[in-house]
Structure 1
Amino acid sequence: MRHIAMFIASQKGWYSLKRAIEGGYAQKIKLVATFKEIDVEKSYDQEIMALCREYEIPCYLWGEQIKESLLQTLIDLEIDIAFAVSWRFLINTEVNQVIKYGLVVFHDSLLPKYRGFAPTPTAIMCGEDKVGVTAILAADKVDEGDIILQKEIPVGENDYISDVIAKEARICGDMVVEILQKAVDDSITPMKQDHSAATYSIWRNVEDCKIDWNKTSVEIRNMIRAVSSPYPGAYFFYQKRKVIVKSAEIMGEMNFAVRQPGKIWQIVNNCPMVICGEGMLKIIDAEYEDGSKVMFNRLRENLNK
């Protein structure tokens, strides 16, 4: 194997670069591309660039410096394998024609499940007790490439998205090193996906994070876990102000003669207990958009408005 290119972002991309360097591949990495993320609590572009400077690895901002000349650049740099980790931009699959082992794309699911956008939040929302990372060969159709390597990750019922992302980051880094060793040994053997078992995940925006109290307490808590930090967070309105839920707890069911989801049943130690379509949910920690703590001092509020 001659040289490596990495298209990376987020904690996962940063950690993948770090592990490749720790694995002794720094001198073989001839191109790193990154970008500044939006709609997240923290972008890792500065950390990625700093790591590249420390090890004298060429690093570029996507779109500004590398996008238009990518194919020729990969040829000139004699790239044998490229990785895309937490990458959001289209890279034409024609690069597979000039890279010996192709462009290896990391997808945060156990493919063929959850192809598409935001697979990890979707999996948590669906109540999965395991997620995973799959490395595939870049393909023209969404996440349909042949599988190079796949790792499973357990998800506890009290794991929030930040906990799962941290696990995925470590797995991504380990997988990059394992695949690089396979490339050195010339033992990469891609495997076809079972397309008949495919499911899909759609993109999400801030509006999708508004809590619908008509759903069950389990569904609502799963969404809270799925879209919490580093994402914008699940929210509702209390006294006409937006409230972002940081954590919540499922409470025992109560037999309401007339069920009205979204109404507060009681407030204990500043923790409101809210009626759901099925079950009850206790808001443990919540804050306003400016980061200040919410003081729940009015019982007669319908949070479903």
Structure 2
Amino acid sequence: MGVTLYLLNKKGFISLSKIVEHKVYKSILDQVIIAKDKGNKEDYYNEIEKLAKEHSIRVYDRTENIKVESDYSIAIGWRWLINLNSSKLFVIHDSLLPKYRGFSPLVNMLINKEDYIGATMIFASKGMDEGDIIFQKKVKIDYPIKISKAIDLIADIYGELIEDLFRKLLSKNVLPSFKQNHSESSYSIWRDSSDYYIDWTLSADSIKRFIDSVGYPYEGARTKLKNEKNILIIFDAEVIENYTFELIHCGKIFKIEENKPFVVCGKDLLKITSFKDENGLEYKFNKLRTRLV
């Protein structure tokens, strides 16, 4: 019996770390396949490669011509199609399936202020994340929470799921599984650079949560200054309540304190406490009559 791992980002690194802690788990690991994650500032490519080599595990980049003859393959954080002839493929998905099938589920769960985040191990399927569920784990979260913290929590869950799977495979017992309730399914759409821009018509609380959800290691929430070429990247903000405006002009700066603008939102104000321009330079607000779009 052998296993091939397809690993990406921190979740892949934590999963491999859990496997190499157990001599018996490592003994059935045939090889590791890794890839660069351009949209993630912490893709853990080098860390995964280093860890695999330290434990004498064969490691390949996905661009190489790799032959997979393992009995089982496991995709962790993987974004690309995997074509296998005989190896049984398991996939771990960043949501509590059947909810949030598809792309960027963790980011979208935080934006939607879900009470729980989690991960699901399934058998690979032709349909999008429709395979039978093998294991599923979740953790309750409190807001505000940064995406980096949520990734840490999810990565730990991945490690637990991997240990559960290896334990079952070595026991040679039939894997437990059950079909998804497709009537309860929902889908998470892909995100691109346009989706990092703030919608100032939303409530300050929603915008604060959006900023936290798309921050490091991702590109960060952005806004433009009307009539200027400058783009600001917003790292942190604070909701300011109890301001009543006779007419709401979303995106207008109400006041500035120590170069920290208070921006009118669909509900309440948002005080931008940490930001830079897109080149990583400090930006100075020189005038009050500024609109963010």
TM-score category, normalised to shorter length: over 0.9
Letter in 2 for 1:167: L
Letter in 1 for 2:154: E
- Is the contact between residue 144 and residue 209 of structure 2 (CA under 8 Å) also seen in structure 1? no
Letter in 1 for 2:131: G
Residue-pair matches, total: 289
The residue aligned with 1:21 is 20
The residue aligned with 1:140 is 126
Letter in 2 for 1:297: N
Correspondence for 1:288 among 270, 277, 284: 277
Return structure 1 stretches of 4+ with deviation > 3 angstroms.
Answer: none
The residue aligned with 2:141 is 155
Correspondence for 2:112 among 120, 126, 133: 126
Distance in structure 1 (CA, Å) of the matches to 2:127 and 2:262: 45
Distance in structure 1 (CA, Å) of the matches to 2:224 and 2:42: 25
Correspondence for 1:235 among 222, 230, 233: 222
The residue aligned with 1:51 is 51
2:114 is paired with a residue whose SS is coil
Distance 1:298 1:23, change over 3 A: farther
Residues 170-197 of structure 1: per-residue CA shift (max 9 Å, x gap): 1111210111101112331111111110
TM-score where L is the length of structure 2: 0.94
Distance in structure 2 (CA, Å) of the matches to 1:235 and 1:154: 28
1:47 is paired with a residue whose SS is helix
- Is the contact between residue 15 and residue 162 of structure 2 (CA under 8 Å) also seen in structure 1? yes
The residue aligned with 1:300 is 289
The residue aligned with 1:166 is 152
Correspondence for 2:89 among 103, 113, 121: 103
The residue aligned with 1:204 is 191
Residues 46-74 of structure 1: per-residue CA shift (max 9 Å, x gap): 111111111111111113232xxx4xx32
The residue aligned with 1:254 is 243
Residues 212-253 of structure 1: per-residue CA shift (max 9 Å, x gap): 111121221221111101110111123531110111111104
Distance in structure 1 (CA, Å) of the matches to 2:283 and 2:17: 39
The residue aligned with 1:84 is 75
Distance in structure 1 (CA, Å) of the matches to 2:40 and 2:286: 31
The residue aligned with 1:113 is 99
- Is the contact between residue 262 and residue 271 of structure 2 (CA under 8 Å) also seen in structure 1? yes
1:12 is paired with a residue whose SS is helix
RMSD: 1.4
TM-score where L is the length of structure 1: 0.91
- Using the aligned pairs only, state the percent identity: 36
How far residue 211 of structure 1 moved from its aligned partner, in angstroms, is: 0.8
How far residue 135 of structure 1 moved from its aligned partner, in angstroms, is: 0.6
1:171 is paired with a residue whose SS is helix
How far residue 81 of structure 1 moved from its aligned partner, in angstroms, is: 2.4
Letter in 1 for 2:12: G
- Is the contact between residue 23 and residue 177 of structure 1 (CA under 8 Å) also seen in structure 2? no
Is 1:8 the counterpart of 2:7 in the alignment? yes
- Show structure 1 runs of 5+ residues with no match: none
